[in-house]
Amino acid sequence: MALGLVHIYTGDGKGKTTAAIGQGIRCAGNGKKVIMVQFLKSGKSGELNLCERIKDSFEIVRFDKTAGFFWQLDDAQKDEVKKNVTRSLQYIEKVMKSNSCDLLILDELIGVIKNGLIDVQEMTALLQNKPMAMELILTGRQAPDYLIARADYVTEMVPIKHPFEQGIPAREGIEF
């Protein structure tokens, strides 16, 4: 790609990660290299199972092994998450410096920002260090205005209706 743009998938609705992975599969299907770094996630999902089958084209990197929502974690678990965010950012810096992929997905990076684990200066530096030809996707709820202003694509997932509201739990193959 001659010009890599910045995408944001945000909002309270379902499908931000799935949309990012879909874009990644499209990119990989066209012979491009995709790396997705997931923050604040440790569970399994069907998308990850599929991407494992095409790992030469679509690599998924997770440093976080802590399960649960950040606000539910105890102090020791939060400290571990912070260390993992630092490791993730170091890995991302290496990927950007080596220009080792065509599409870089930073899944739930917006959640990292929202939880105060990365500040505006760090995020601004990350965006400034993006290679010109690298496409970048950021996901997570409540994208801050400065990120929205910087992005080229912004899609907000808005929940209109969800089975969870009727007491239907998450189902394998649909929600995970």
When pLDDT is averaged across residues 81-93 and rounded to a whole number, the result is 94
Looking at the 3D structure of the chain, how many domains does it have? 1
Q: What is residue 19's three-state secondary structure?
A: helix
Identify the residue with better confidence: 23 or 1.
Answer: 23
**Considering the entire predicted model, what is its pTM?**
0.91
Residue 134 belongs to domain spanning: 6-159
Distance CA 46, CA 63 (A): 19
Tokens read off for 40: 């604040």
Residue 68: band (very low, low, confident or very high) from pLDDT cuts 50, 70, 90: low
pLDDT in tens, 119-130: 889 999 999 999
Q: Does 63 score more than 90 pLDDT? A: no
